Amino acid sequence: MTPRALTIAGSDSGGGAGIQADLKTFTALGVYGMSAITSITVQNTVGVYEVLDLPPQIVYDQIRVVAEDIGVDACKTGMLSNEEIIKAVAKAIKEFKLEKFVLDPVMRAKSGDTLLKESSKEALIKELIPLALVITPNIPEAEELCGFEIKGLEDMERACKKIYSLGCSAVVLKGGHLRHEEVIDVFYDGRGFEYLKGKWVNTKNTHGTGCTFSSAITSYLAKGYSLLDSVKKAKEYIQGAIENSLPLGKGHGPLNHFWPFYSFKR
């Protein structure tokens, strides 16, 4: 059967992040992609200029009709900007038993613009984290969730344990913001740590890295891989997407989601 993956996230008019990045990733990795749009952003490589949140019932209904008709092997969330949308998504995940659920706790765009209202953070923690098979925060997001600064590997391990205690089944804490020559992501599932190493790529074209990584994990879960194998394979995919990133726009350019097949001329 064709593997099926659903992204529940915001739309990026610049095409580098959000559902656009997710659907590109699903396609590149051989998965049939579906989407439930939560917000429409007026966005490019420089910043986010306007955000229009969709009604929570519309968000829920997008998930419902897809789950009832096509079916969902794995799903992920990205931008969920308010408490009402978070609750609608949590309701759908429980109602349609979407157990392979990857939570990307999107809080800010690459440009630094806020995408999750401060008042909604508690809803994310209470409503969605306990449902997640895995949560994929970066360093700033983990600091928001944990309430302490993360400076190195020991802090990352401590943060993983703290986030795991919120009820998810596993955590992947991404280490790219620490800016070492070797980028280390930390995986924790309550039993032990796995350290996923990658090469630091000196580029400003990193728009959509978090979206792409979480959607790659979702893709491999939809194809039947174990969680840890899905994370490892997603790490390999995102490394190549960054190394082959595209110098487009005046700010943080996008990744090349189709790097396994071809590279665009620079």
**Edge-to-edge strands, sheet with 134-135:** 48-53, 32-43, 4-12, 74-77, 101-103, 134-135, 171-173, 182-188, 193-199
The DSSP secondary-structure symbol of 145 reads: H
User: In this structure, what are the phi and psi dihedrals at residue 93, rounded to the nearest 5 degrees?
Assistant: -60, -40
Q: Is 136 a catalytic residue?
A: no
Among candidate residues 209, 232, 235, 253, the one labeled active-site is 209
Q: How many helices (DSSP H) and strands (DSSP E) are in the chain?
A: 8, 9
Q: Is 174 a catalytic residue?
A: yes
What is the C-alpha separation between 64 and 36, in angstroms, rounded? 9
Among candidate residues 25, 41, 45, 206, the one labeled active-site is 206
Among candidate residues 33, 87, 211, 253, the one labeled active-site is 211
Instruction: List b or e across 88-116, with b for residues whose CB sees 16 or more CB atoms inside 10 angstroms.
Output: bbbbbbeebebebbbbbbbbbbbeeeebb
Among candidate residues 210, 212, 218, 232, the one labeled active-site is 210
Among candidate residues 208, 218, 232, 235, the one labeled active-site is 208
Among candidate residues 174, 198, 212, 232, the one labeled active-site is 174
The residues that are catalytic are: 174, 206, 208-211
